[in-house]
Amino acid sequence: MQNYYKLSLKCPKCGLKLGDDGKIIDGVPAIKLQIRSGEEAGTVWLSALYGSYNKESTLPVRDGEISVFSCPHCGADLVSEENCNICQAPLVDFHLFEGGKVSICSRAGCTKHSIEFEDLNTAINHFINEFELQTHPRD
Ligand SMILES: [Zn+2]
Ligand SMILES: [Zn+2]
């Protein structure tokens, strides 16, 4: 059994929560973002479990395409200053409520993602909670 870390993310610009309680992916509220790819715009929901690539989108994005992700609250583009070390596309940054950040690659199909905690103890506590949560039956 794999343990997942449940992300609680906020916009680095306005500080508002990026979770959407109305959208459940992997059994937990998903992360909601605006997405632009080429001329088209839509909404994407990413799994809030770190390590899961499950997502839903109103915009069909083909693997290999680079999208721009933005905050559904303030509209700011969430572009990192760093590029993906696998495919060179820009990374997308989110901040964790407990301190730290998560980065994902903006290219569809690229599996690059990373997580940095400011305080490792918070992280360890969360992993234990998540483990306990997952030992209970889902339904
Ligand atoms: Zn924002
Ligand atoms: Zn990449």
> What is the CA(94)–ligand 1 centre distance, in A?
10
> What is the CA(125)–ligand 1 centre distance, in A?
27
Question: Is residue 4 in some structural domain?
Answer: no
Radius of gyration for the alpha carbons in the chain, expressed in angstroms and rounded: 15
Q: How many domains does the chain have?
A: 1
Q: Which amino acid is at 112?
A: K
Question: Is residue 94 in some structural domain?
Answer: yes
CA dist list (Å): 122 to 50, 94, 129: 15, 17, 11
> What is the CA(131)–ligand 1 centre distance, in A?
30
Which regions in the chain score pLDDT beneath 50? 1, 137-139
Q: What pLDDT is stored for residue 135 in this prediction?
A: 53
Question: Is residue 59 in some structural domain?
Answer: yes
Ligand approaching nearest to the C-alpha of 75: 1
Ligand approaching nearest to the C-alpha of 70: 1
Q: What pLDDT is stored for residue 131 in this prediction?
A: 55
Question: Is residue 27 in some structural domain?
Answer: yes
Question: Is residue 1 in some structural domain?
Answer: no
Range of the domain at 47: 9-134
Q: What pLDDT is stored for residue 138 in this prediction?
A: 47
Rounded Cα distance, 100 and 83, in Å: 18
Question: Is residue 51 in some structural domain?
Answer: yes
Question: Is residue 3 in some structural domain?
Answer: no
Burial class (CB in 10 A: 0-12, 13-18, 19+), 122: middle
> What is the CA(72)–ligand 1 centre distance, in A?
7
Q: What pLDDT is stored for residue 125 in this prediction?
A: 67
Q: What pLDDT is stored for residue 38 in this prediction?
A: 85
Question: Is residue 16 in some structural domain?
Answer: yes
